[in-house]
Structure 1
Amino acid sequence: MHAYLADWLSLIVRWFHVIAGVAWIGASFYFVWLDNHLREPPDWKKQKGIKGDLWAIHGGGIYEVAKYRLGPEEMPHKLHWFKWEAYSTLISGLALLFAVYYFGNPGYLIDSSKLALSTGGAIAIGMGTLAGVMLVYEALIRSPLSRNGLAFGAVLFAILVIVSWAMFQVFAGRGAFIHVGAVVGTIMVANVFLGIIPAQRALVGAIEKGVEPDAQVVLLAERAKLRSTHNNYLTLPVIFIMISNHYPMLYGHAHGWAVLAAIGFITAFARHFFNLRHQGITRPSILVVSAILTLALIWAMAPARPDPSQAENVARVDDEVVAILVETHCQACHADKPAHPAFQAPPAGIVLGTLEQLREHADQVYQATVATEYMPLGNTTGITREERDMLGAWLRQAE
């Protein structure tokens, strides 16, 4: 019953997290698109203080959107603030982190072959990393480095690569991936809470007082714009990490941290194409390069195929040996009714109760257990490299 209720809790929190993330990222994409499509307004609008405008059609109606240089002559009674989408995404994401990784299945997070961690130790490392990177980012964005966009981006990317590498030294691959995503998400929400919203409040305060924004307000506004730009480039990498837990070929790779770094660079670079396109600049070469880099990554990650010339030299593995191996290391989870307390149903719907079922899922088992060594989760059963090789040899025999 505990695992059943835990699954429902995870499902509900994950559902809410995805909804909140869609709302936040959708709003972010829209406002970046909006800013990049504003055009110079006619003189009569300029006299009202309007900086740019655009016309759009959606939902059966035509919309006129205007952006003021500072604000209207009279502040509207109802002014919509976009902040709770970000806050609810972080809150639900942290709840999911605790429910699934810290207090859920320990195999998702802890790999004793890397570091034998207690739950408290894992929480301390995870939360400490989130807070530490956020503080470093805040120091950088308030420094002169923020005036050089390319240099700042390079430094931030280097920091995230280091974080990715460090997480893979202490956590299992899946847990490492999700913590890098949590770091990126925390930076994005901090941008909203510590920069964008305070800048907006300062601007509204100046307008309500009927005074020109002072230098401090202008500086806050400039940094808020920069923070918004950073968030825009971080959206695709963080979305990728959100869905990556379904693909152990990524986080189960021997160099999973480098895979994550490569994907982060590729997705952020691809986002640059759309940001330029919104400004009327079309550079398809960016997408071409992104596609080539993706194909190169797929090729580099591909598992090595066994050498047919050496197949004859591999001792044949008996069915009885493999049956015992699977019973020992796989069937606690991959059974019609799993004995593992964290599962109510076999993961991914894969049941390995018989050798025939093992043959049916030979590709998935080879990838997860032999090629990436992701399974068993956290290697809680203590499967050895020799046993993995025997299983791999049997699976090749079964082809």
Structure 2
Amino acid sequence: MFEWPILWEWIAFAVRWVHVITAIAWIGSSFYFIALDLGLNRNGDFGGADGEEWQVHGGGFYHIRKYLVAPAEMPAHLTWFKWESYATWLSGFALLMVVYWAGGALYLVDGSKSDLPLWQGIVLSAAILGLGWLAYDRLCKSPLANFPTLLMLLLFVFLVGLGWGMSTVFTGRATMLHLGALTATIMTANVFFIIMPNQRIVVADLQAGRVPDAKYGKIAKLRSTHNNYLTLPVIFLMLSNHYPLAFGTEYNWLIAALVFLMGVTIRHFFNTMHARGPMLWWTWAVTAILFILVMWLSSAGRVSVPEEIALTKAEQRFASAEGFDDARDIVMGRCSMCHAREPGYEGIHRAPKGVLLETDADIARLAEGIYLQAGITRAMPPANVSWMEDSERATLVAWFKNGS
């Protein structure tokens, strides 16, 4: 009834849709509880509770209390917040397999950087998630847990180093995505292996009439803090595959490093604000500086253009601009096997995203896209499967500048 390419595309869309929905639920509940915890009123006697909060929403009033360890008696009804996290990771892992494993020939291993076979790239992809979590967990269970700031710095160095390593094998798109996937794996594994088991121990102690040990709450709090500061970078990294200036550049791993820092500055502002502390406006200045550096890095590694070509006349139509014939030959030879009305590349049945590059009018009309995707970045061709040379990228950049 359906052609397989159409069915596969819709399966991928459905998995992505589920992933986005569950991620919204997880991140939304996470942000809510962070703000609730930091904003509790602790001035008064709350019957053994650490603090309380009155809230209004949807026409109703809510009275909430928090206990540092547990209440004196186990409540009859207890809501656990866990499925949002689990469903987000499971759907994300499914999406990883659909896009980067099944579509690995285009999106996973960059053949111009490494001759790693696809199956080894898939094994490496899975190993990064599994071994990355184990390395992080080992750090958290070491004496470094008593020095949370130092632990966070080591985690940052670990992620940056891993990002650089992946950038030598994977495509830029896969590098950014895997950094986000590893970070999300750490966050979900924190919930599954640490936070939830510790809460179950506390509940079991209550049910047995024992006084729960406060250390379990302390351990869970450390992991929750990490999840708090890692949330925003994960969102950026997951969205980066839509923006070649983020993933298709020489310094994508450095861009990811700066994004992790921006996540810290932004969350620090809101965490302090929710705790009714001073408004740390300087954090936004730091965030802006970091973002400016990201924008600069996105084009710092672009292919250089010979001065004599770059300085030719501007304000001309792209179709008649100097260098168009050469640019057209490059696009026809390196891009049009996929971006055609009847693609000739094996496995491609429709032009990706509907982008057509097989006539003079097509190429002239999409000059800016060619410039961004294959000129100043290496987003296209995916994994450089058609072996576009640096000199050819420079030619595309020069042609675009001539026609601008």
TM over 0.5: yes
Equivalent position SS for 1:230: helix
Match 2:250 to one of 245, 251, 254: 254
Compute the RMSD of aligned alpha carbons.
2.2
Structure 1 residues 157 and 318, CA, compared in 2 at 3 Å: closer, same or farther?
closer
TM-score relative to the length of structure 2:
0.91
Q: Which of 227, 249, 264 lines up with 1:268 in the alignment?
A: 264
Q: Is the 8 A contact 1:145 1:151 kept in 2?
A: yes
Structure 1 residue 357: Cα displacement: 2.3
Distance between the aligned counterparts of 1:288 and 1:312, measured in 2?
Answer: 36
Query: Which of 340, 343, 348 is 1:338 aligned to?
Result: 343
Match of residue 83 from structure 2: 84
Please give the alpha-carbon distance, in whole angstroms, between the structure 1 residues aligned to 2:188 and 2:379.
31
Corresponding residue of 2:122: 123
Higher deviation after alignment, 329-338 or 24-33: 329-338
Structure 2: distance between partners of 1:307 and 1:327: 23
Retained in 1: the 8 A contact 2:251–2:297? no
For 1:99, the equivalent position in structure 2 comes to 98
In 1, the alpha carbon distance for the partners of 2:87 and 2:99 equals: 18
Aligned pair in 2 of structure 1 residues 184, 312: CA closer, same or farther (>3 Å)? closer
Give 1:221 deviation, angstroms. 1.4
1:72 aligns to what SS in structure 2? Answer: coil
What corresponds to 1:359 in structure 2?
Answer: 364
Q: What are the within-5 Å matches in structure 2 for residues 247-326 of structure 1?
A: 247-281=243-277, 282-302=279-299, 311=310, 319-326=324-331
Shift of 1:358: 1.6
Q: For 1:113-170, what per-residue CA distance to the aligned partner results, in whole angstroms no more than 9, with x for missing partners?
A: 1112333201211111111111111111111111112111110100000111111011
Check the 8 A contact 2:305/2:395 in 1, yes or no: no
Q: Does 1:240 pair with 2:242?
A: no
Distance in 2 (CA, whole Å) between partners of 1:26 and 1:101 is: 27
Structure-2 residue corresponding to 1:150: 149
Q: What letter is aligned with 2:42?
A: E
**More deviation, 365-374/331-340:** 331-340
Question: Conserved in 2, the CA contact under 8 Å of 1:24 and 1:85?
Answer: yes
Counterparts of 1:51 and 1:263, CA distance in 2: 34
Q: Secondary structure at the match of 2:64?
A: strand
CA distance in 1, matches of 2:61, 2:81: 23
Larger deviation, residues 270-279 vs 337-346:
337-346
Q: Secondary structure at the match of 2:168?
A: helix
| Structure 2 equivalent of residue 15 of structure 1 | 17
The residue aligned with 1:228 is: 224
Q: 1:150 to 1:42 in 2, by over 3 A?
A: closer
Letter in 2 for 1:254: E
Residue 105 of structure 1: CA displacement? 5.1
Residue 21 of structure 1: how far off its partner (Å): 0.9
For residue 42 of structure 1, report the CA deviation from its aligned partner: 4.3
Change (3 A) 1:271 1:312: closer
Residues 36-47 of structure 1 aligned to structure 2 (within 5 Å): 36-40=38-42, 42-43=44-45, 45-46=46-47
What percent identity do the matched residue pairs reach? 38
Distance 1:134 1:227 in 2: 13
Matches of 1:141 and 1:312 in 2, distance apart? 56
Q: CA deviation at 1:342?
A: 4.9
Helix, strand or coil for the counterpart of 2:50?
strand
Task: Judge conservation of contact 1:335–1:351 (CA < 8 Å) in 2.
Answer: yes
Offset, 1:337:
4.3
**Contact 1:160–1:180, Cα closer than 8 Å, also in 2:** yes
In 2, Cα distance between equivalents of 1:120 and 1:307: 40
**1:367-382 residue pairs with structure 2 within 5 A?**
367-382=372-387
Contact 1:70 1:207 survives alignment (8 Å): no
For 1:332 and 1:32, the matched residues in 2 are separated by 50
Structure-2 change in CA distance of 1:145 and 1:376 (3 Å): same
Alpha-carbon distance in structure 1 between the residues aligned to 2:35 and 2:54: 13
Shift of 1:72: 3.5
From the superposition, tell whether residues 139 and 278 of structure 1 become closer, same or farther in structure 2 (CA, over 3 Å).
same
Q: How many residues align?
A: 392
Matching residue of 1:166: 165
Q: Is structure 2 residue 208 aligned with structure 1 residue 206?
A: no
Change (3 A) 1:172 1:269: same
Partner of residue 318, structure 2: none
Tell me by how many angstroms 1:317 deviates. 5.9
Contact 2:160/2:253 (<8 A) preserved: yes
Look up the equivalent residue of 2:198 and give its one-letter code. A
- Structure 1 residues 149 and 110, CA gap change in structure 2 (3 angstroms): same
Partner in structure 2 of residue 394 of structure 1: 399
The whole-number CA distance in structure 1 between the counterparts of 2:17 and 2:127 is 26
Check whether the contact 2:129–2:181 (CA below 8 A) recurs between aligned residues.
yes
Question: Is the Cα contact below 8 Å between 2:198 and 2:216 reproduced in 1?
Answer: yes
